Structure 1
Amino acid sequence: MPYLTTELRGDVALICLDRPEKRNAISDAFVEELNAAITWAEAVAKAGVIHANGPHFCAGLDLAEHVRKTPFEGVHGSRRWHEVFGRIQRGRLPWISALHGAVVGGGLELASSTHVRVADTSAFFALPEGQRGIFVGGGASVRTARLMGVARMTDLMLTGRSVDADQAERWNLVQYVMPEGAALDKAVELATQAATNAEISNYAIIHALPRIQDMATDDGLFVESFIASFTATSPEAEARLNAFLSKKAGSKVAKPGSNE
């Protein structure tokens, strides 16, 4: 039985986690379906949304499958998660995740690989691996820790507590909090907007920004100057800049909430 469904809305590819009877727990087969869905999305779309069917986004690792693995099989499984989730974080498309219900363990790791996270008020976040006698294995020690900081991640893993969507926003785990049931519409709206950007700009944003954050200040500024110059001289950038200068493009930045 498929664990995912896909849909194309204009230039936006939607990938829906569709294993609600298991709270969308992530198995090896699930990861391989996700990998295939990413390949499809990159071929047909300019931006992507990951969301889920059922009461929860994703409750994490399929423990029934994991407990039967040898340690070496566990390493290979973890590395495959890293590879596939890495295709989201540093692939061809900007990805927005729409989160609700449990965003726990591997579910939070999957969400952390997306570029913008939208939660509704039903969402809650946790990393309960410490209570299961295991350690995070889907990238949380790198991606999630960089979002919210090592101290907060340590707290979640040591205590097993969960945080709600408002707390997650304060911790930088999510960027938007919507009323219950409204996260998907907002995620599609954001992805649709991102899809109108120049492809080279989106690529630079999702690839260069995280790498620059890992650099020393002077190194990052040096790299930024080259990326800025390279993107500004592309044919698409030239056309967009000329359209703006001739007032043909409605791209004036407006104050939030205004009708300008």
Structure 2
Amino acid sequence: MGIATVTLNRPAKRNALDIATIEELVDIFAALPHEGIRAAILRAEGPHFCAGLDLVEHHREERSAADFMRVCMRWHEAFNKMEYGGVPVIAALKGAVVGGGLELASAAHIRVAGPDCYFGLPEGQRGLFTGGGATIRVADLIGKARMIDMMLTGRLYAGDEAVSVGLCQYLVEDPETKARELAERAAQNPALSNFAICSAISHMQNMSALDAAYAEAVVAGVVNTQDAARERLAAFAGGTAAKVRPDS
């Protein structure tokens, strides 16, 4: 069905993101749309999803301000390719999803958390500031005030509270199984529809209301007249399409 699995594999480091991992993420998410991939699952080895920036590497490198700005731009490149690439990315989250790990997770289109999952932005306590898009994506998910609170005080979110504030959409016992179920469901949609859903909406959020309305009309004109849409509309008109209704 064309579902890719992308795995963070530095469990001894709680999957902290060093620059080599970021460069791999850039390459992977740049390639997925061109390889017939219909959906992707982002998961991690070990008990934690991602503890954020590899602070040991950062300390060892003694980067200048310009050096670290360039590192941040590579993070943005990786996460933008996830969010705007047009392939649905479902993140299966567990354990720590903190700092840059939360920035990574927030670039996914759907976030599925396990019961041991917790979210944090501890940058303030470490004398740091977010550099991988939290001010854009995390603030968009939970609001400016909650994000500032997390950074100033080290507040963590978990469980139902994390769902209620928007950090994740699902809270389940087995996030990887649920992520695969969602990926398989999304992969059944026409690729052009998924491309629009997973790129155009984010672009429109960056526009004025007037420009977004125009862009939405253009995208709808293209997507809603594709051959796959015509086939599905014919099934609907003929009474053979699946009904939209809650599960019994």
- The bucket for the TM-score relative to the shorter chain is over 0.9
Once residues 224 and 31 of structure 1 are traced to their aligned partners in structure 2, the CA distance between those partners, rounded to angstroms, is: 32
In the TM superposition, residue 225 of structure 1 has moved relative to its aligned partner by 2.3
TM-score (norm 1): 0.90
Whether the 8 Å CA contact 1:58–1:102 is kept in 2: the answer is yes
* CA distance in 2 between partners of 1:82 and 1:40 (Å): 16
Match of 2:244? 253
User: Alignment RMSD, CA only?
Assistant: 1.4
SS at match of 1:38: helix
Compute the displacement of 1:211 (Å): 2.4
Please list, as runs of the form range in 1=range in 2, the aligned pairs for 1:1-260 lying within 5 A after superposition: 10-42=1-33, 43-67=35-59, 68=61, 69-179=63-173, 182-249=174-241, 251-255=242-246, 257-258=247-248
- Alpha-carbon deviation of 1:207? 1.6
Question: Separation in 2 of the partners of 1:177 and 1:44?
Answer: 29
Contact 1:11–1:192 (CA under 8 A) maintained in structure 2: no
TM-score normalised to the size of structure 2?
0.94
Q: CA deviation at 1:222?
A: 2.8
Give 1:196 deviation, angstroms.
Answer: 0.8
User: Which amino acid letter does the alignment assign opposite residue 142 of structure 1?
Assistant: I
- Maintained 8 Å contact 1:60/1:107: yes
Question: How many residues are treated as equivalent by the alignment?
Answer: 245
Q: Secondary structure at the match of 2:183?
A: helix
1:40 Cα shift?
4.6
Q: How many angstroms apart in 1 are the aligned matches of 2:195 and 2:31?
A: 18
By relative contact order (CA 8 Å, sep 6+), the higher-ranking structure is 2
How far the C-alpha of 1:220 sits from its partner, in A, is 2.6
Q: Give CA deviations for 1:3-53 in whole Å, capped at 9, x if unaligned.
A: xxxxxxx32101111110000000001111222332453314111010111
Question: How far does residue 121 in structure 1 lie from its aligned partner after superposition?
Answer: 1.0
Q: Distance in 2 between matches of 1:71 and 1:167?
A: 36
| Paired AA for residue 217 in structure 1 | A
Where structure 2 has 5 or more consecutive residues not aligned to the other structure, the ranges are none
Cα offset, 1:210, TM superposition: 1.9
With over 3 angstroms needed to count, the CA separation of the structure-2 counterparts of 1:27 and 1:178, relative to structure 1, is: same
Paired-residue identity, %: 45
